[in-house]
Structure 1
């Protein structure tokens, strides 16, 4: 293991802190908690807006995009706060302890729809923005914890795998549990069912974040450098091209994720003609993510991170073209869909480790670690990406003339092209962005 890196130029190194097996596994629970709320939002909030709250598809898509951009500016603010936090709980853990309950509450509020007309739209915008801000207060510190727990690149890659195992379990839980919970808690009242479902999942997410805070202890942090200006920290970011590449590639990847999760319910019902296929599509995506989390560290250690990710993306593009030919063949569709998303998911699994690598490079380049700020860039990409993906799909619905009470052939074609064609294009964009990352030799 390399020697611990310094926190700021001229400061003493962080205290060695052996990472227990329990802490490594517990860290992955944070992504399980995150996906109980985040995946539910990306997969079902658009449907809740259009088919339960009665908002127009274009209005719902605009809310998803504008609300996410509005709250995304909080990410660098939270990142800077984490970099400057020194408390008896550590630097990142206080946010997990105190902000997680807030996230659970506003998550439940996002699945309510009081009033009518403009009131509904304003409420949706306000609650969606608040749930995004609350997510930042938890998820940015959680992601920034990784380089605070260990400075070993191989361990970080493995822990990124543990994170994605947690994320995959969360995806599976959401795909299997959300609609049954809605039905059992609401009966014929879908609005009440969605609210009850959100209360259950929000509470579970809070408890899981608290477990992470209990079992994962950070290495001792160096003192905050006096006189460090915020503008100087922000100005140093463009110098780190590797970080820029990872953040841009993550943005493209999460736009793709936003399209898949938001579009699954529509594609299942209106293209495959089976509303229950929603669970199967999301489950297939979840299983591909789970399998990817197990094999990605093994593959990328042998191919190199950038090369392995880009090879997987190239194969995914080919397989997505094949999906266009599988209308009316749900079993074959799901099989190819699983393989495509397994290969295209290497970047999701590796991203936290790649960000941690850029933290080490950033310190070499600038004399600053800025874990919170650098992770905030990745968090910004995930947040804006999923919102943009959902918005793009909603606008595709509007372009196709989608109506909840009658789905025309033109609307069905728009759903199919948005659900399959756009993700294939985004794989190429993601691969182009990865060209900026080149730290494999330094972190091997």
Structure 2
């Protein structure tokens, strides 16, 4: 069979489709805790509970969206219709999240929960079909690695905008009013995300379909998913990756300001995450094709764990600290490209084992692991702040030490755990995972 070759416009549109989905969410992940505590004035522990409860509810929401994708049959296909129908609501809610009214604190917490929960639901309605789309576009492994690389580029650009560019834009657009600045930046990102989602809808095509009946029994399908070893490995790996990512995104501003005493480091450390992801997107597919997806990811995680473990011991040498940090970010970035490709293989594995592909349901689980991981990382750090009595402008030594060791030590623990999980990736049939 001849290898499938996708056009550049389709690959590019698929890659930047990730930006349409994740740009607003990256801004929320990196700055919503800061916005709620330092701009709105909400207590950190209460905000952590808002994040955690909202994400726990996604266990039901994401499963329902995934099942809906598997049962959907429209003139636009099974996934693309979701991009068309959710683009406008997602843009509007992403602005509402960063526009908390000047109400009493209990009402503000309710508003924060409802808007953050709505953002998560709408993200599910985009992210799950988006992830399900790749195995429908091509069965060719090399093309999947190329699509994964393009998606990594889209992800990295969204992280640059959603992390490094936020505070400068807040200052520029807000004119000294942070509330106004955050709202305007959210509106700008909403417009960019909308354009990327429409490009995804217009240019990408579904070529390979699950031809089984859409009228399937739900509980047996969920049971099959939970017995798909390849899927379980990707689910756990994503959960651990994004728990670390969420923790670092939320903690970097506090770490740079309160531990290092160098606020300017924020503009290097947050962009480094995206910059290294962008850099790795160009060579990770070639590395993974040579080493095998799992082996390459395990090696990268091992290197990253060693580099992050060294960070607390070089904090007095800023240049060396940043060099090790950036190298660690580069190593972990390779694993994102690997994860995108591995998910597509979980669909093949499922089809070989059960005779049905279930792209939507399998994607729902991965979406849940991503959001739950981000929430656990962000909420966990918020709880650390609350436990050690963090107060803006009056930071105790105990709070500083808690931030310091959570930032590096927590990262190492999660990297080691992710490495162990990937070692369980099935080799060989069914589905030929690599």
Query: Normalising TM by the smaller chain, what interval?
Result: over 0.9
State the shift of 1:173 in Å: 2.1
CA contact (8 A) 1:314 1:428 kept: yes
Superposition deviation, residue 440 in structure 1: 6.3
1:110 matched residue in structure 2:
97
1:164-207 deviation per Cα after TM superposition (whole angstroms, max 9, x unaligned): 01111111223342112211222222111111111110111011
The alpha-carbon distance between structure 1 residues 328 and 187, as it changes in their structure 2 partners (threshold 3 A), is: farther
Name which of 302, 316, 321 aligns with 1:314.
302
Q: Residue by residue, what CA displacement relative to the aligned partner does 1:393-416 show, whole Å, maximum 9, x if unpaired?
A: 111111221001211111111111
Of the structure 1 ranges 176-185 and 368-377, higher mean CA displacement relative to structure 2 is found in 176-185
Q: Contact 1:399/1:414 (CA < 8 Å) preserved in 2?
A: no
Paired position in structure 2 for 1:64: 51
The answer on whether the counterparts of 1:2 and 1:152 sit within 8 Å (CA) in structure 2 is: no
Give 1:64 deviation, angstroms: 1.1
- Is 1:252–1:385's contact at 8 Å kept on the other side of the alignment? yes
Q: TM-score, normalised by structure 2?
A: 0.95
2:341 corresponding residue in structure 1: 353
Structure 1 distance, partners of 2:306, 2:356, is 42
1:76 aligned residue: 63
Deviation at 1:120, TM superposition (A): 1.1
Alpha-carbon shift at residue 275 of structure 1 (Å): 2.1
Query: In structure 2, how many angstroms separate the alpha carbons of the residues matched to 1:2 and 1:440?
Result: 22
Runs of 4+ in 1 over 4 A off after TM superposition: none
Q: Which residue of 2 aligns with 1:290?
A: 278
User: Take 2:214 and 2:399, find their aligned partners in 1: how far apart are those partners?
Assistant: 58
> What is the match of residue 326 of structure 2?
338
Q: Report the Cα distance in structure 1 between the residues aligned to 2:263 and 2:328, rounded to whole angstroms.
A: 22
Where do 5+ consecutive residues of structure 1 fail to align?
4-16
2:220 corresponding residue in structure 1: 232
RMSD: 1.7
Secondary structure of 1:154's counterpart equals helix
Q: Is the 8 A contact 1:57 1:397 kept in 2?
A: yes
After TM superposition, give the deviation of residue 89 of structure 1 in Å. Answer: 1.1
Secondary structure of 2:263's partner? coil
Greater Cα offset, 147-156 or 183-192: 183-192
- Counterpart secondary structure, 2:423: helix
Partner of 2:14: 27
Aligned counterpart for 1:179 among listed residues 142, 167, 172: 167
Distance, in Å, in 1 between the alignment partners of 2:392 and 2:426 is: 47
**SS across alignment from 1:73:** helix
Query: In structure 1, what is the Cα distance between the partners aligned to 2:286 and 2:113?
Result: 42
Structure 1 segment 186-335 matched on structure 2, within 5 A: 186-219=174-207, 221-225=209-213, 227-335=215-323
**Aligned counterpart for 1:148 among listed residues 117, 122, 136:** 136
Aligned-pair CA distance for 1:347? 2.2
Scaled by the length of structure 1, the TM-score of the pair is: 0.93
